[in-house]
Amino acid sequence: MTREHFEIRDQDGLGRIGELAVPRADVTVETPALLPVINPHLRTVEPSRLRSEFGAEILITNSYIFYGSDDYRQRALDEGLHEVLGFDGAIMTDSGSFQLAEYGEIDVTTPEILRFQREVGSDIGTPVDVPTPPDAPREQADEELATTQERLEVAEGVDVGEMLVNAPVQGSTYPDLRERAGRHAAATDLDVFPVGAVVPLMNDYRYADMVDVIAGAKRGLGRDAPVHLFGAGHPMMFALAVAMGCDLFDSAAYALYARDDRYLTVRGTEHLDDLEYFPCSCPVCADHEPADLRALGDRDRERLLAEHNLHVTFEEIRTIKQALRAGDLLELVETRARAHPAMLDGYRALTDHADLLEREDSASKGAFFYLSGESARRPEVLRHRERLARLSLDPGDSVLLTEGGPSDRYDESWRVLAPFGPFPRHLSETYPLTAEVPERMDAEGHRSAAKGVARLAEANPETEFTLAHHDWPERALAAVPDRVATVDLAE
């Protein structure tokens, strides 16, 4: 089903540039987008500056804080959130589910909080879902998901006017529950789809589990749903999450981390005390050295660190958008995967979902860069291998598959390129076979090419094959069937 308020403009794997129309704010938000979290009690950076200096088109605040606040409740009802916060972009509001997860209960129902969100002028509201933590017993996850699903159905019945409504996807760490939750949520007439309760996974650097959870939700939600990775604010994992099909992120981290003197980078988090040089050139880091910031008072230091954290966060969103336009998002993910071994786990988990990526990936992009053993598991490589299983050659013909030049001594002569394997020469100029590959290819790449040879040989049992390779290691050649003759060109 096509969703009324979300349009996909450009796609690379599961990642995409989209437009989320937010009618109540009369704003179109370009995705991937970052929503800075505003705590009305602690405005580290003024919302008006978020728009003018950092380019934020949308932010998020917690309606439950306004709902329960003596200071803010009436003001929000009288003036509206946009006026109270001083922000003229789109405003999404959370419902208090976080407080529910933290403190066990809250004193508001889905219809009450949705109506309140509408009354204070929220542009995207949220029902009271139940965030089931990772590794919960399956029975609990199942029961709580049923409750969330009931709340979504209740939300459908509430008159929210032009306000869009979130439909959170829960299911703990059970991919099949996440998939069921996604399918149910997508079938409602709600608008935006937060993947919920993933913060504990991110806090524990469980990026592979995070990828599996997102994959489950995406399988259920389908392509057209705008997906919010709820609570994800560290720029280190944005590229990975976008490559899994996430469109919206929200960051409380920029301010929370700043309060603890923590400095965000795309390679992790640093404590200000451990920095002698700023690995950044944002306006804060171009003007200061770490020692300068350490010498400041708490308030100024916190504000400048929060500004740096916002700069690097929005910079990563722009970097990802540029990669999406250029069609090299997976190349960016390769780079980001080297931030931490747990990020590498996340990237390796992504390649386990190559079937899902392959389904949506465009067949032609700029250039395929082979950047690590993981590149041998990219969707393009699997797609080529599947294709080999469907190519038929004349039975009885002799075919040379070679990394070198063609030879007249065979009926046909195909090229071989690791990690893809063999292909007819006339495909040499087509994507992804125009790939840039290292001269020092690794065993994973050679092994992947050997698997391609095996696939072609299986599909053509009556054809005679000879593989002429350049110094492939024994552990790659082991994947070539015995009936394929091999010649080492390097000997």
Each residue 16-55 as x (binds its own copies by CB under 8 A) or -, in order, gives -------------------------------------x--
Each residue 280-319 as x (binds its own copies by CB under 8 A) or -, in order, gives xxxx-xx------------------------xx-xx--xx
Each residue 255-274 as x (binds its own copies by CB under 8 A) or -, in order, gives ------------x------x
Residue 346: how many other CB atoms lie within 10 Å = 28
Give the one residue of 334, 380, 403, 464 binding its own copies; rule: CB under 8 A: 334
94 labelled catalytic: yes
Question: Which of the following is catalytic: 10, 26, 88, 94?
Answer: 94
Q: Give whichever of 318 and 359 is closer to its own copies, judged by the CB atom.
A: 318
Q: Give whichever of 190 and 324 is closer to its own copies, judged by the CB atom.
A: 324
Residue 332 makes contact with its own copies by CB under 8 A: yes
Residue 475 makes contact with its own copies by CB under 8 A: yes
Give a three-class secondary structure readout of the chain: CCCCCEEEEEEECCEEEEEEEECCCCEEEEECEEEEEEECCECCCCHHHHHHCCCCCEEEEEHHHHHCCCCCHHHHHHHCHHHHHCCCCEEEEECCHHHHHHHCCCCCCHHHHHHHHHHCCCCEECCCCCCCCCCCCHHHHHHHHHHHHHHHHHHHHCCCCCCEEECCECCCCCHHHHHHHHHHHHHCCCCEEEECCCHHHHHCCCHHHHHHHHHHHHHHHCCCCCEEECCCCCHHHHHHHHHCCCCEEEECHHHHHHHCCEEEECCEEEEHHHCCCCCCCCHHHHHCCHHHHHCCCHHHHHHHHHHHHHHHHHHHHHHHHHHHHHCCHHHHHHHHHHHCHHHHHHHHHHHHCHHHHHHHCCCCCCCCECCCHHHHHCHHHHHHHHHHCCCCCCCCCEEEEECCCCCCCCCEEEEEECCCEEECHHHCCCCCCCCECCCCCCHHHHHHHHHHHHHHHHHCCCCEEEEEECCCCHHHHCCCCCCCEEEECCC
Residue 480 makes contact with its own copies by CB under 8 A: no
Of 99-107, 276-284, 396-404, 423-431, which part binds its own copies (CB under 8 A)?
A: 276-284
Say how many residues touch its own copies, by CB under 8 A: 58
Q: Give whichever of 95 and 448 is closer to its own copies, judged by the CB atom.
A: 448
Cβ of residue 165: shortest distance to its own copies, in angstroms?
A: 30
Of 113-121, 128-136, 189-197, 438-446, which part binds its own copies (CB under 8 A)?
A: 438-446
Cβ of residue 266: shortest distance to its own copies, in angstroms?
A: 9
Cβ of residue 142: shortest distance to its own copies, in angstroms?
A: 26
Residue 339 makes contact with its own copies by CB under 8 A: yes
Residue 331 makes contact with its own copies by CB under 8 A: yes
Residue 9 makes contact with its own copies by CB under 8 A: no
Give the one residue of 254, 278, 410, 420 binding its own copies; rule: CB under 8 A: 278
Give the one residue of 372, 402, 448, 463 binding its own copies; rule: CB under 8 A: 372
Q: Helix 329-336 vs helix 341-352: angle between axes, to the nearest 10 degrees?
A: 140
Q: Give whichever of 335 and 466 is closer to its own copies, judged by the CB atom.
A: 335
Q: Which of residues 378-417 bind its own copies (CB under 8 A)?
A: none
Q: Give whichever of 92 and 371 is closer to its own copies, judged by the CB atom.
A: 371
Binding-site ranges for its own copies (CB under 8 A) = 53, 208, 267, 274-283, 285-286, 311-312, 314-315, 318-319, 321-323, 325-326, 331-332, 334-335, 337-342, 344-345, 348-349, 369-374, 436-440, 442-444, 447, 474-475, 478
- The residues carrying an active-site annotation are 94
